[in-house]
Structure 1
Amino acid sequence: MAFTRPLTIWALLMVLLGLLSGVAQALKFDLVAAMPGTRRCVAQYITDKQMVVGTVLAADGDNQKVDIEVFDQSVHSNKYWHKLNIQGEQKFAFTAHDDAEVHFCFTNTLDAGSAVRGAEKKRTITLHIDTGAEAADLTEEIKNKKLKPVEIELRRLEAILNEVSTEMDELRVREMAMRDVNESTNSRVKWFNTFTLIILIGSGLYQIAYLRRYFQAKKLI
């Protein structure tokens, strides 16, 4: 029984490290070359003022030119990065300006005169993206405090949890705002229905009185 608590702590640490390692997975795909270029985009929702860092690795390929463009779908159409004919590994970093989907678009263009019938040319693209707390640079903190690997991952996990907590608080505020809007809308609809019902009842009574006077004037009743 004396080993239960240490084993539980280490099991928890292993689970947390497993979660962190799962976050670091990269997206890998083949991009076929064509004339004009073949375009493929990857989208990820990024919140305002959130930091984004990542790497792009384009495998070697003869007579092929791979371009990358990073932009969002907000009303401002922010453009964050654009690079032509990328070779090898390229690193990028930027801070989002709006709450929107950020698109990472790749175009593979085949050089003129290099097309070979029956042969398909392509290049393998590897894209790795970290956002928010995952993108935090702990290099200086590691040097100053001489942290162990487990402590580094725990610091990173703490930052991620703080970010999640902040997002939950923002969602709670939005939920309260939406609830206030719904209650206000329901109140207005209720009063509108009441006003409509009063008008219908008044109109019905007026028509009854009018028809009664009409029939009395015609001596039908």
Structure 2
Amino acid sequence: MKYIHAALAALAVCLLLISSPVAAFNTFTIILDPRQENCFNEHLQAQDRLDLSYEVAEGGSMDIDFVIYSPNSRPLYNQNGKSFGTFGFNAEVEGTYVYCFSNKQSSASEKRLAFTVHGPDELFKIEEKEMKESIDDPTDTIQAELRVLDSGIKAIRDEHAFLTQRERRHRQTADSTNARAMYWSLVQALALIGVCYFQISYLKRFFDMRRLRGAACFDNHKYSSFG
């Protein structure tokens, strides 16, 4: 019996790994046009936990406005003009919580934004409750463990997607900084070459003028001696 349970567990893990690539992600990417605001809803029960992380990937000065509202339209948290942020809370009351990303402060630049949401999985709760109320089957424990494992894998994949987005943005920033440093070095080198050329030309013209003046004075002195 033990070996049968182990075989069932191994089979379930294999099926989980095979089906995980098509599992729903909690990481999203949106484009915010100038003067645009996008809002999303999340229905929470009392004491449910909601965690949200966001980061501007590209566009303008990489800033965005963020606000989250309680079911009674009261702002719970807001952050203006930031390129990234993280916020988490436990719902005080049951209802629909709304969080919004705003690009209204920009009149010309669109923003590409990536955000990750970790909230309660109501379907998982219902299935878990039904499982506890079902008959005492040894496979129920395996299924419960697999659901916990599936939830953990999804959380890891969401966090990995968010970190990958941050790494891409930081790499773009580093590449942009390196390019600007290279261009600035080229400008400095050209300016140095120009200054050196100007100084050499000025000194050459200065000594040529002194030589011509010296020759003119010598000629005048010679003519005055013969006179």
Give the structure-2-normalised TM-score: 0.46
Give the structure-1-normalised TM-score: 0.47
Larger radius of gyration: 2
